Amino acid sequence: MKLHNYFRSSASFRVRIALNLKGLAYDYIPVHIARGEHKTGPFAAISPDMLVPLLEDEGERFTQSLAIMEYLDEIQPEPALLPGDPVGRAHVRALAESIACEIHPLNNLRVLKYLVRELKLDDEAKNAWYRHWVREGMVSFERQLAQYPAGTYCYGNTPTIADCCLVPQIFNGKRFDCDFSGLPRTMAAFDACMQLDAFQRAEPSNCPDAEA
């Protein structure tokens, strides 16, 4: 397997966690999206959407972190990243999509660059945008967690794709000094995840292309 990714990309972080949880070895191929490497050269030639992560396996290329994680779950069923029952799978997918589809798209790098370059927002205004939408989304996420019986992680007592999405979002939010107060279930799940080696090894600071 080859994973084309960027150390600070939360979508890439999700897939690194999933690969670690599965115990799957892979070649780490850095793509520096802050420098535009995803839009030029070898990576652009193999990635139609010019986004990270991109996973290569068995001659196939896979994009979009949620799709990649479900692919990994199908080719390596244990440990499972989705519950075994349809109800549980639907709930976990909803939690994962709350972050990957509701919070993250408003705050990813290309949006932040657009706010600054095209809309002429200064750093303070850009960061206020980021903090607002992360806070709104995480408060909603906490309400969703409250629907389910308390467990160690987002849903139950084993990590799922919801946890793979949650941890990178919290990491990036902390970089922008987001407010995560008053989110007991959310932060308890985050803290539990960060006790696991699979999450620790996937941290941005542990990546070969990590920068200060």
CATH of the domain at 162: 1.20.1050.10
Domain that holds residue 58: 2-79
Q: At what angle do helices 10-22 and 65-75 cross, to 10 degrees?
A: 10
What span, in angstroms and rounded, lies between the C-alpha atoms of 26 and 16? Answer: 9
Q: How many CB atoms lie within 10 A of CB 199?
A: 23
- pTM attached to this predicted model: 0.96
pLDDT digits (tens, 9 = 90+) for 41-93: 899 999 999 999 999 999 999 999 999 999 999 999 999 999 999 999 999 99
What Rg value do the Cα atoms of the chain yield, rounded? 17
Task: Note the pLDDT of residue 59.
Answer: 95
CATH code where residue 25 lies = 3.40.30.10
pLDDT digits (tens, 9 = 90+) for 201-210: 999 999 999 9
Tell me, yes or no, whether 205 lies in a domain: no
Q: Which residue matches tokens 């030029």?
A: 40
Examine the domain organization and report whether 48 and 132 are in the same domain.
no
Q: How many residues does the chain have?
A: 212
Mean pLDDT of 136-150: 97
Task: Note the pLDDT of residue 199.
Answer: 98
pLDDT digits (tens, 9 = 90+) for 147-157: 999 999 999 99
Tell me, yes or no, whether 12 lies in a domain: yes
Task: Note the pLDDT of residue 18.
Answer: 98
Among 46, 61, 79, give the residue marking a domain's end.
79
Mean pLDDT of 141-146: 98
What rounded mean pLDDT belongs to the chain?
A: 97
Examine the domain organization and report whether 9 and 74 are in the same domain.
yes
Q: At what angle do helices 161-175 and 10-22 cross, to 10 degrees?
A: 140
Number of domains in the chain: 2
For 37, phi then psi, to 5°, come to -65, -20
Instruction: Specify whether the CB–CB gap between 30 and 209 falls below 8 A.
Output: yes
Q: What is the DSSP letter of 127?
A: H
**Is pLDDT of 137 > 90?**
yes
Q: What residue type is assigned to position 112 of the chain?
A: L
In the chain, helix, strand, coil percent, each to 5?
A: 60, 10, 35
Cα dist from 3 to 81, 145, 174, whole Å? 19, 31, 25
Task: Note the pLDDT of residue 212.
Answer: 84
